[in-house]
A and B are shown apart, each in its own frame.
Chain A
Amino acid sequence: MSTTYTIPVGPVHVGLKEPITAWLELEGERIVNARVRPGAIHRGIEFMARERNPIQVIYLSERICGICSFSHVICFIRAVEDLAQMNVPVRGQYIRSLVLELERVHSHLLWSGVACYTIGFDSAFHLGMQMRERVMDVLELLSGNRVNYGVATFGGVRWDVTPELEKALRGMVRYYRQEFTPFREIVMEDPVAQARMRNVGVLTRDEAVRYSAVGPTARASGLRIDLRKSSPYEAYADFDVEPVVPQDYFGEAHGDVLDRFAVRVLEVYQSLDIIEKILDGLPEGPFVEEANLNKVMASLKKADGTGWGIIEAPRGDDTHIVSLKGGVDNVLWWKVRAPTYANAVSWPIMFRGNELADAPLIINSIDPCISCMERMLVTDEREYRSEVVTRSELVKRSRQKTFELGSLKSKYVPGGGAEQ
């Protein structure tokens, strides 16, 4: 008689359209099967947009997700620009790319901090959070807000890069070049952290293709895809952006959590390079095609058709499809596909064969949104008894595993040995 437990992982689940409830089927500590059910935080944003005009929807799309808000805005705006045939001045394109890269830096830093927290590496978590404040300062200097920036508009951007901001940006790049390497070494060269993340939540390259994984999740599986290379948008058309894949750095792609960590960390360096290139090549000129919103609105009212915007957000490619109807103010329909929507499909495969203590790490590894797991309900089906396992207990289990590994460190040889 098989004794499997079924554990639902967190209905209270942070995220936008990608809050997930997962039922993990366990045999002892080992996960044998997983079912995933999103939908806790479905607000019906796409439906709400039908009552609003495109300019109002910019600010709604910003509130799809607080972490990659700018990506969603640019993606929505590009979809509308695609259907209405609008131009963006080159300076506007450069500033858009600049903010997109700043957002990638802050998102990846936040993620690496939270991943460290999940495995019980608290000092690295605080180090990551402290470093993240620097890029938040720059974003605040640019836009006046730390989370939803309100920078982009149709045909360009709303805020310019001032000499003061440029100085702050260059200072930030210098700071990260200096401070980020120690952080990377502390985490990635730590044998316990390596043992904790290596060969956990594996997604092979073929599975990544079949399950349409995107972004760092796909690249960690060795898939060389990056929209900044394959269909350069905005200022990326002027630079060569090579997808960061683990096989280029470590010889082989494992597709596990450590590879996802490495890809994100290396992408931070890549973003810093891009930010410098943008600052060096920032052209003079207007940064918005038409600043008068009434005129923009009038031209959008005439637009008719369906547009597709697709960009490389921090977590993967973000797709928006927008349809406008001529003579109508409001958006006809709108479809958003956030990166986690695509990556979440491959969760069940990543879970298989791992331990319950790895579940928070695996869920976190695709960067679904910061604190995934709020609380869990453990059902013991044999005795029809339920008990609540809280997030803290689950994290405690996850941390316990790290400490056990730590005490075995001398005997334990981390699988793979990425750094050799």
Chain B
Amino acid sequence: MKSFDMDILRILPRSLWVTTCNSGSCNGCDIEVVATLGPRYDIERFGMKLVGTPRHADVLIVTGPVTHFMHEKLKRIYHQMPDPKVVVVVGNCGCSGDVFYKSYNLDGPVDNIIPVDVYVHGCAPRPEAVIEGVTKAVLKLEGLGKKPDKKEEAQEAEAMKEAEAAGGVAL
């Protein structure tokens, strides 16, 4: 399953399907993600659309500093997404924790738990920044189409193995 079809990678970045996961954010980033769907920012101009399930998605938008409860769920969502996939973290707290520190119930930031490709800073980032972040995901996928990165593939294979060991993909 690791041999990416070059044709797929040429076509795929033209219409990315995005799913979101709130791992403990204040909702501020999530309303900005909703605003990008709205008529003013209209993310569908770029062929992107929000889907409800990770199994249909190419891009995962994660918000929030990852609570202990959400740790396993976030991993599971990540492993449910088909390859190739891109993870975009939206908001300062998912990138670095920001105001959330010294808590007994936080396992974040997000890159402690799953590999992250794009960081969108801001508290909360403007819809334009969210759009920019997701379009950077296109660049990553296009890059994959040109020259498969051996190292990343190895990493992802490892992650898959880990998931299988944890029973994460069994669902």
The interface of chain A, by Cβ under 8 A from chain B, is 11-16, 39-45, 47-48, 51, 59-60, 63-67, 69, 110, 114, 126, 129-130, 132-133, 136, 145-148, 369-371, 374-375, 386, 388, 390-395
* B93 touching A12, Cβ below 8 Å: no
Q: Please tell me the size bucket of the interface on B.
A: 35 or more
Looking at the assembled complex, report how far the CB atom of A17 sits from the nearest CB atom of chain B, in whole angstroms.
Answer: 10
* A369 touching B69, Cβ below 8 Å: no
Q: State A96–B104 Cα separation when bound (angstroms).
A: 34
* A130 touching B39, Cβ below 8 Å: yes
Interface status of B99 (Cβ within 8 A of chain A): yes
Interface status of B26 (Cβ within 8 A of chain A): yes
Q: State A114–B103 Cα separation when bound (angstroms).
A: 32
* B28 touching A40, Cβ below 8 Å: no
* B124 touching A147, Cβ below 8 Å: yes
Contacts of B51 in A (CB 8 A): 392
Q: State A375–B21 Cα separation when bound (angstroms).
A: 10
Q: State A126–B35 Cα separation when bound (angstroms).
A: 10
Given A41-B22, A130-B38, A388-B171, A375-B53 contact (CB < 8 Å): yes
Where chain B touches its partner, the secondary structure class is loop
* B103 touching A44, Cβ below 8 Å: yes
Q: State A80–B26 Cα separation when bound (angstroms).
A: 22
Given A64-B26, A146-B124, A375-B53, A12-B70 contact (CB < 8 Å): yes
Given A129-B37, A391-B53, A65-B67 contact (CB < 8 Å): no
* B27 touching A369, Cβ below 8 Å: yes
* A129 touching B38, Cβ below 8 Å: yes
* B37 touching A44, Cβ below 8 Å: no
3 shortest interchain CB distances as A-B pairs? A66-B28, A392-B52, A129-B38
In residues 6-40 of chain B, which contact A (Cβ within 8 Å)? 20-32, 34-35, 37-40
Contacts of B26 in A (CB 8 A): 16, 63-66, 69, 148
CB-CB nearest in chain A for B98: A63
Given A11-B73, A59-B99, A60-B99, A44-B124 contact (CB < 8 Å): no
Beyond the given A16-B27, A40-B73, A148-B26, please list 8 additional residue pairs across the A-B interface where CB-CB is below 8 A: A15-B22, A16-B26, A44-B105, A48-B100, A63-B100, A69-B28, A375-B52, A393-B52
Contacts of A48 in B (CB 8 A): 100-103
Contacts of B37 in A (CB 8 A): 129
Q: List 25 A-B contacts (CB under 8 A).
A: A12-B21, A40-B24, A41-B22, A41-B69, A43-B100, A43-B105, A44-B105, A44-B106, A45-B103, A63-B26, A63-B28, A63-B100, A129-B37, A130-B38, A130-B40, A132-B38, A133-B38, A136-B35, A146-B32, A146-B126, A147-B31, A148-B124, A388-B171, A390-B55, A392-B51
